[in-house]
Amino acid sequence: MARKAKRRGRPPGSKNKKSLGKSVATMDVVQLRAYIDDLQSTLAKKVNAQRAYFEDQLSRLGVSKKTTASVKTVTPGNGKSGQRAKPKPKYQSKKNKSLKWTGRGVTPVWMRDEMKGTKLTKDSFLIK
């Protein structure tokens, strides 16, 4: 099977970030303040444009602003939170009744030792 050649250099579409840092480093305080104000106004325009676009999309779908406000308060993922309950054990040792196993993960050592050299199977350790 042929191996893929490793990609070298910057990924496609990335730009040289260092050029911006050098130009900002050489600006004086007044130029920097004007640059920051310009960036903030550009950002505000883009945010407002995006908000208008998404509100338009929501209105086309028939979703009102009241329902969008309630959507923000919903917790992600089914609304369930907290931890799961511990699973109940399914298997129990024949020799020592205090040794139990849920059936998840690797077979415990005590079960492997008891099954070794005998005709016992995993099903013979089931708790009834």
pLDDT in tens, 46-102: 999 999 999 999 888 887 666 655 555 555 566 667 888 899 999 999 999 999 999
Identify the weakest region by mean pLDDT among 13-17, 23-27, 53-57, 69-73: 69-73
pTM over 0.85: no
Burial class (CB in 10 A: 0-12, 13-18, 19+), 100: middle
Predicted pLDDT at 11: 74
Is the pLDDT at 14 greater than 90? The verdict is: no
Show the CA angle centred on residue 125, arms to residues 123 and 127, nearest 5°.
Answer: 100
Q: Among residues 91, 107, 24, which one has the least CA distance to residue 99? A: 91
CA distance 91 to 31: 74
The residue that leads in pLDDT, 120 or 25, is 120
CA distance 89 to 102: 4
Q: Do residues 91 and 122 make contact, with C-beta atoms less than 8 angstroms apart?
A: yes
